[in-house]
Chains A and B, each alone.
Chain A
Amino acid sequence: MLANKSMFSQTVDQVNVQERVARLFSRSIKKESKVAALNNILSMIDLTTLEGKDSPGKVRQLCYKAAHLHNQFPDLPKVAAVCVFPPMVPVAKKALRRTGIKVASVATAFPSGMSTLAAKLEEVKAVVGAGADEVDMVISRGAFLRGEYDRVGEEIAKVKETCCEVHLKVILETGELVTLDNVRIASILAMNSGADFIKTSTGKVFPAATPPVVLIMLEAIRDFYLQTGKKIGMKPAGGISKAKLAVQYLVMVRETLGQDWLCSELFRFGASSLANDVLMQITKQFTGVYQSTNYFSLD
């Protein structure tokens, strides 16, 4: 499985990664290029609610918001998907009918992944059966950190098998992987095992998506593509609440993966409050002033 020497033995130097990130993040994005980026970001958002206290009512509100981001600007794009817990899949599915917005569900004992493989597969089967368009699974970090890469890979492959055509996003939970070397290994492991997307975090562990981690994952995606011709998607999630940071991530995607990844089929933001900040920035680009947050719906 681990076929190519240069790809898998490649190490990561943290200091230089931070330097590269700083360089990318210093790009100055203004005027039309900023508006274009903000619009693109909206279309890449997986609007997310993953709380123990989630209710069908809250999910329905979120779904309505997903399709009607800000009525002041009717031409705004819709978000890419709504991401919920398994029991909420039918609710979201119904609420999003005919909107073109996808339903994503977390599965495999999210967020810890601490369950038996059988139970995980059962859960995946259930959400796929309920009509989820995308499944966000978590890897077994314990097994990964013990060095049982085969086991982690096998689990991902089995989940993918259960998903069939449904898109599989593999959450690495990079906050628990400790080193950037591990992030790279886990990324390649996930892609080799059938991931359609790789995703940084559950949002339940600190730190969630960090710029160095995202850069390493994007570089792994690029290397995997150059090796296999397969385009794998990327989803940073957790801790991205400001439009400016999202634009900076878009710069990172542009200069690492290029044109093909600048779309919601291959790049997503997992976020709950990002959309409103982007909307506020878009409004500011048109009106020249910042509005109060009260003008943007909280759902």
Chain B
Amino acid sequence: MNYKTDWVYNPAPESADHVRIQERYDLFINGKFIPSVKNAYFKTINPANENKLAQVAEAQKTDVGLAVRAAKKAYENIWSKMDPSERGKYIFRIARLIQERAREFAVIESLDGGKPIRESRDVDIPLAAAHFFYYAGWADKLEYAFPGRKTQPVGVAGQIIPWNFPLLMAAWKLAPALATGNTVVLKPAETTPLTAMKLAEIIQECELPPGVVNIVNGGGETGQALVEHPDVDKIAFTGSTEVGKFIMKTVAGTGKKYTLELGGKAANIIFEDAPLDQAVEGIITGIFFNQGHVCCAGSRLFVQESVAETVISKLKNRMETLIVGDPLDKNTDIGAINSKAQLDKIKMYVDIGQKEGGEIFQSSCNLPKKGYWHAPSLFTGVSQSHRVVQEEIFGPVLAIQSFRTVDEVIAKANNTPFGLSGGVWTDKGSKIFALSKAIRAGVIWANTFNKFDPSSPFGGYKESGLGREGGLEGLMPYVHLV
């Protein structure tokens, strides 16, 4: 097929004129924006063109201490004692303000993180608002969530979130914590702090009592200070398995509650009786959604032998039609890689894959000169022993294997230290039930992939983490049942 057509789409960029980004952002502690004690700042850039977007205050250990103290005071004096329906009203207010300013949030998310505006506009921001709406509703209904039990909040929650869905992950963490009466110190990711700072503005506008939500930016050391702080009662972390293990060690024996949402290497399984063209869309969504920066990405593809050739050829054709480029363009399917460090990591794995004998196919798209970019890629001729099959790449790189029997694919799907998600494509309902029981992963999608809803719990098995976020189950990490 020839997809290099004479008819090309003109650029259709979303306007960024209406967006206000300050030159400097400070820490958000006790309801106020304050500089860090050392007056230290780091810059955040647009990964699509490497231009600086803003300076962001880097929280030191002392700053983290201040934030935790503010959170503790707010917890003890106000938030844990507030009538739950009043708490709910504040959270509803946050949700509504996110909706009102959705366009601004979407543009900033794309500027700061490199993701296509289509995704930040249609997925990230609406889902973030939906999470606040959902948990706002639970605030005064907790006794129905756990019949016959009473709930008590945990205290101060230290929450560390990743750079792949900055605002959405903040919403996943904040909404259930606030609804159950906890106060929060949130640490956004170093490369994507801006939407969290915008959220801080909204929180101020909502007149949320000072100290209920505090936001401290910074890198690993800031996170470590938060995890180690003795007055933090719960840690919620989303990020790499490596850091997750460190957190587990650190909090061991301290009595702190913790939830970890870590890496993944999901099996996306296509049976011969699947709706193949739609399955190909599912493969595309599975691995190329958000440039593959998705912990539940369908990065291991298993295709049944009899249709493997057909599916792979369809997939390659489909990859040729993906539009890679300016994240703010409404037609862009795949945006920029989030950071140079991540791009280097992806390139390293692509290199390893080729050295280990995998056969690579990349879409023939032109990549912009400036910024961090990677063409959508897939590997064939790889097996469970290849590193590109075993390790999380967190980029637009798919590893394909074929299989013959149901038992074989179940064994291979489970043959991984991870267990976050999986996908099954078949026209047979019985096969869906068999597979979803047999695969050890927190989420299994049937004839779809990467679908999220606030009412649906999300979390992993094995090295993909523990605890659940979302749904009724997502309340549990933030309450003591009495």
Q: Which residues of A contact B (CB under 8 A)?
A: 5-7, 9-13, 15-17, 19-20, 26-34, 36-37, 40, 219, 222, 225-226, 250, 254-255, 257-260, 262
Contact = CB atoms under 8 A, between A and B. Distances in A.
A225 B1 CA distance: 9
A17 B278 contact: yes
B275 A40 contact: no
A255 B277 CA distance: 13
B43 interface: no
State which size class the interface on B falls in: 20 to 34
B119 to A, nearest CB: 11
Interface in B283-324: 306-307, 310, 313, 317, 321
Contacts of A10: 275-277
11 contacts: A6-B306, A10-B277, A16-B275, A16-B281, A19-B281, A29-B9, A31-B10, A219-B277, A254-B7, A255-B321, A259-B5
Nearest to B13: A28
Contacts of B396: none
Given A13-B447, A40-B7, A254-B3, 5 more contacts: A33-B7, A33-B9, A226-B313, A255-B321, A258-B2
A136 B7 CA distance: 29
Q: Which of A20, A37, A250 has the most CB of B within 10 A?
A: A20
Q: Is the interface of B mostly helix, strand, loop or mixed?
A: loop
B275 A13 contact: yes
Contacts of A262: 5-7
Q: Is the interface of A mostly helix, strand, loop or mixed?
A: helix
Contacts of B317: 222
Nearest to A225: B1
B254 to A, nearest CB: 46
Nearest to A216: B277
B341 interface: no
Contact of B10 (A7, A13, A17, A30): A30
A16 B448 CA distance: 8
Interface in B13-62: none
Interface string B249-292: 00000000000000000000000111111100110000000000
B4 interface: yes
A11 B427 contact: yes
Contact of A30 (B2, B12, B310): B12
B7 A12 contact: no
B482 interface: no
Contacts of B278: 12-13, 16-17, 20
A11 B118 CA distance: 29
B159 interface: no
Contacts of A36: 7
B214 interface: no
Contacts of A259: 2-6
A11 B331 contact: no
Contacts of B5: 254, 258-259, 262
Contacts of A255: 3, 321
A28 B330 contact: yes
B118 A26 contact: yes
B12 A6 contact: no
A150 B448 CA distance: 35
A262 B310 CA distance: 24
Contact of B331 (A7, A28, A222): A28
Contacts of A250: 7
A33 B313 CA distance: 29
Interface in B189-203: none
Nearest to B310: A6
A34 B331 CA distance: 14
A260 B275 contact: no
A214 to B, nearest CB: 13
A4 to B, nearest CB: 9
Q: Which of A10, A254, A262 has the most CB of B within 10 A?
A: A10
